[in-house]
Chain A
Amino acid sequence: MKFQKEKNNKSNIEEGIVKVILFIMALSSVISLGLITFFVFNEGLPFMINYGITDFIFGTTWNPTDQVYGIFPMIVGSVIVTVLAMLIGAPIGIAVAVYLVEIAPRRVAKIVKPAIQLLEGIPSVVIGLFGMVVIIDLLRRISRGPLSEYLPAGYQTGYSVLAGVLILAIMILPTIISISADSIRAVPQEYKEGSYAMGATKWQTIFRVVVPAAKSGILAAVILGVGRAIGETMAIIMVVGNSVQIPIPGWETLFAPVRTLTGNIALEMGYAGPEHRQALFATGIILFIFIIIINSLTLLLRRRRT
């Protein structure tokens, strides 16, 4: 028969082999994700259950030598630093995105865009080192100078929530800018023209039409920024002081040294004994759950958009 498949046709065999190989490759990400989930949970979950989930999550003392593993201070540390960093980074990032897409003259955009790309590429340890020297020094001067009588001694080293917040705000900027810029760029031209036709100024159009239309994309950018901030490790370790304590509530919090979930893992994994290591993996689980929640949120957002 004329168009019959020939089993031993060379190109058909090649096609078949390639397809199988590519399929196996395509499984790599699911397999990796499966392995990561399995290993992290397998190591951490039994410990967490044995120790007591509430004791683990809400315990305020972390003292591996005495087998006390409460990670509440680290959760507080991660949350405070992340939330404050978002409060600074998100508005600035969105503003830059709006500026880039809607306002910047081409020549300026040509400088700003690569700059943002470069900022994204700078290793976090380099930013951490910068923070450790420049920002810490500045904060130390402030806390030992004008603020010294209001702050406890332990809050005057410069290593603090505020240092972490500033560093993180810088680090999430590229993420927020590039994702919001994409969604702002995707706003249909007709929307804007409609607004101009009604006599609105450029700013009114941006504020009342463009940004609302790009809202869900901007929100996704912010959520991804949160994920990035919660997961950041090295730069944070270098500037927050890493002491396990819940900061004094109030403005003093800004100057409190804290430890984050990621920092806890990175600092102690190297020398942890078996049980201690399990406790660190349990910390990883908490981090993991944060990330899953955050990503499900973005997924929901995208569903709603389409």
Chain B
Amino acid sequence: MSLLEMRHITRRFDDDTVAVDDLSLSIQPGEFFTLLGPSGCGKTTLLRMIAGFDDPDAGSLLLDGEELAGVPPEQRPVHTVFQSYALFPHMSVAENVAFPLRMASVRRAEREQRTREALEQVRLADFAHRRPDQLSGGQRQRVAVARALVNRPRLLLLDEPLAALDLKMREQMQIELISLQMEVGITFVYVTHDQGEALALSDRLAVMNNGRVEQVGDPSDVYEFPDTRFVADFIGTCNLLDGSVGQSETGLVYLDVPGLGPLGVASDASPRTGAPGTLAVRPEKVRIDARIEPATHENRLEGTVHDQLYLGDVTVYRIEITDGQLVEAMLPNTSARGERFFDFGDQVQLAWRHDAGRLLAD
């Protein structure tokens, strides 16, 4: 049985904004689940309804099979790590962490021991007597996590907990969160608009847009096999070529792209001939070279180098293909002395395998 069931949840504000729109999801026990989506897509609204600060206008939430409607936040075994951390400013670090235990009337000896353990878990044992305003951002964040975990909730909600930290700190905290989650075995529901974070942290993730779920799956599924144009575009970068469905054979569809001819794409679907479709292919799947021998199971195009972006580990080339459209190709910088492979205006050929692309029907 899933731990948390969301069934057809809808939440409207002032009648015209639909923050969450007929959304259904189920969260499995023990998983690290991420809600990923652009600003304003309804992530916080959804978390607030799970925590009990807000109620859905329609639909139901079930935790361990039990309806949550009407249960006040203090009675839900769900704790939240707020983006602002919301540490109590007049309490010490230890008092903050002990707060949920105090609320649950845990006896003093046990309370002190569990507080100490929780602080050790986030490596803050030496800071127990400090006030929150005497801590760095990363330390505050860890206090917030320790406080939310200490009373072992069934579900931990985290609303962009790393957004306020700098890049280095964020990467370090990501690693710590993963190992902490494995250690305590508590189900995490994590909210972020950072796709890299979502891919790195999650067991499964849901991509949200306009209050709806566009796709749910494990990170590599969602990255490699986007279902919709929005997902392909929002996670990583993706070349999108619009056309209409031409011939198809088993497992392969040819898309007629104006000016480029038919391009093959592996697909189990058998779309109607003439239906509009989009071919999505990631830049790192596209090979470029001065000459590429034609091969079966591959699409091959020609173009000129339009511009290039040197990123250190990789270089992204933008190739103008015959009809004036740009296709991005990403090449690892494998040469020892860092010389460039191609220059502006070079005539190149590019190719990708049929099964490296993805047919989006929308």
**A and B pair up:** no
Write the residues of chain B forming the contact surface with A, with a CB cutoff of 8 angstroms.
none
Q: Which residues of A line the B interface, CB within 8 A?
A: none
